[in-house]
Amino acid sequence: MIIRTDASTNIGSGHVMRCLTIAKNLEKQNVDVIFWMKDLPGHLINYVQQEGFETINRAEKAELYLIDHYNIDEEWEKDHRQYTDKIVVIDDLANRPHDCDLILDQNFLPNFESRYDELVPKHCIRLLGPKYLIMRDEFIEARLKEKERNNHIERILVFMGGSDPTDETIKILKALSQFGNSFEHIDVVVGNGNINKEEIKRICDRQGYDYHCQIDYMAKLMQKADFSIGAGGSTTWERCYVGLPSSSTIVAENQALTTKYAHELGAVLDLGWHEKVTVETYVDLLLKLKNREVEVNQIGRIGLSLTENTFPNPWIDEVMELLT
């Protein structure tokens, strides 16, 4: 099986990270997984290799191709049918047609069940909505050990995505500097693709915050936290899955609809588009956390209810069916 995906300073790390989750789950089912990735600025090829997977840079024959890439559509997929019998697509946008045998979109939107009706073939299996969340084992374990949250916001987790192309982390650190010791503990997480990671580390060291880079223990940090300041995207659902109240700043077009809808449902605080989110926006948010603690914790409870599953990662069986 070949996974076609990429990471870069512009693309971010989310596609690769969720594909690693898929790969590790399928590896447990004795599936050999290879990653096809381009050598882009901020790529995660070395990280994928460190996680135990072979990487390639061109098409090869495989029983199944899994594609997680916004720049790939029906034309590319039809062209690559010569290399594979089955194609699985991971998507969030529903903005282009696909020639695939299975499509997985884990996002919760008002029309999530029908938005691919005209975009995939009739025979295509559709795994749509939060029932099909792609969750790492650490998050599944964290949900089983669900934290009993009180109404005190003392520990803050900051994670604005692996590359944070709009420099939200720096804005947040400037906002936090105005609060002195108002919060008991601050965890700041960045990815290897963040071009400002060294500056962020220096600020964290100076202000006494815990700095983490390209980690594999995010769920543990989420368990400990009382609130997370984050970006939209797949980490929104990870925060919901462990019942962590959070805010989301929209830093990419693909995050807009899901962030706004999650806000309408009460599962996240939507701060809006990054261009309009300033240091003062984050200062206002931090002030509200101290005055609206009961309301904030209700956000976490709504997140838990939206991500209820009969069992974790039900998409595994569906993908395995294609391989038999």
User: Residue 51's domain is classified under what CATH number?
Assistant: 3.40.50.11190
Structural domains in the chain (count): 2
Of 301, 309, 317, nearest to 268 (Cα)?
Answer: 301
Tell me what pLDDT residue 269 has: 97
293 and 229 within one domain? yes
200 and 128 within one domain? no
Tell me what pLDDT residue 316 has: 96
**What are the structure tokens assigned to 241, written together?**
């899955």
Of 72, 5, 89, nearest to 44 (Cα)?
Answer: 5
Inter-residue contact 314 to 132 (CB < 8 Å): yes
* In the predicted structure, residue 230 carries a pLDDT above the cut 70: yes
Burial call 275-302: b when 16+ CB within 10 Å, e when fewer: eebebebbbebbeebeeebeebbebbeb
Q: Which one-letter amino acid corresponds to residue 294?
A: V
∠ Cα 168 256 25 (to 5°): 85
β-strand pairing of 185-190 with 155-159: parallel
Tell me what pLDDT residue 151 has: 75
Q: Could you give the C-alpha distances from 48 to 32, 90, 119, 187, in angstroms and in order?
A: 14, 18, 31, 25
* Residues 265, 273: Cα–Cα separation, whole Å: 18
Inter-residue contact 81 to 98 (CB < 8 Å): no
Contacts of residue 323, Cβ cutoff 8 Å, sequence gap at least 6 = 1, 31, 63, 64, 86
At 292, give phi and psi (nearest 5°). Answer: -130, 45
6 and 127 within one domain? yes
58 and 26 within one domain? yes
> What is the DSSP-derived secondary structure letter of residue 35?
E
Give mean pLDDT, residues 73-91: 98
293 and 228 within one domain? yes
pLDDT confidence band for 310 (50 / 70 / 90): low
256 and 156 within one domain? yes
173 and 117 within one domain? no
Q: Provide, rounded to the nearest whole percent, the portion of the chain with pLDDT above 70.
A: 100
**What are the structure tokens assigned to 205, written together?**
């060291």
Q: Which one-letter amino acid corresponds to residue 233?
A: G
Tell me what pLDDT residue 24 has: 97
* Residues 42, 11: Cα–Cα separation, whole Å: 9
219 and 146 within one domain? yes
Task: List, for residues 196-215, the tens digit of each pLDDT value.
Answer: 999 999 999 999 999 999 99
Domain holding 148, by residue range, is 138-306
∠ Cα 156 42 213 (to 5°): 30
218 and 173 within one domain? yes
β-strand pairing of 210-213 with 2-5: unpaired
CATH at residue 232: 3.40.50.2000
111 and 256 within one domain? no
191 and 129 within one domain? no
Give mean pLDDT, residues 116-123: 97
* H helices present in the chain, as ranges: 14-27, 45-50, 74-79, 137-144, 168-176, 197-207, 218-224, 234-241, 256-265, 279-291, 293-306, 315-323
* In the predicted structure, residue 32 carries a pLDDT above the cut 80: yes
Strand partners, 36: 4, 56
Tell me what pLDDT residue 281 has: 98
Higher pLDDT: 309 or 102? It is 102
123 and 164 within one domain? no
* In the predicted structure, residue 233 carries a pLDDT above the cut 90: no
* In the predicted structure, residue 148 carries a pLDDT above the cut 90: no
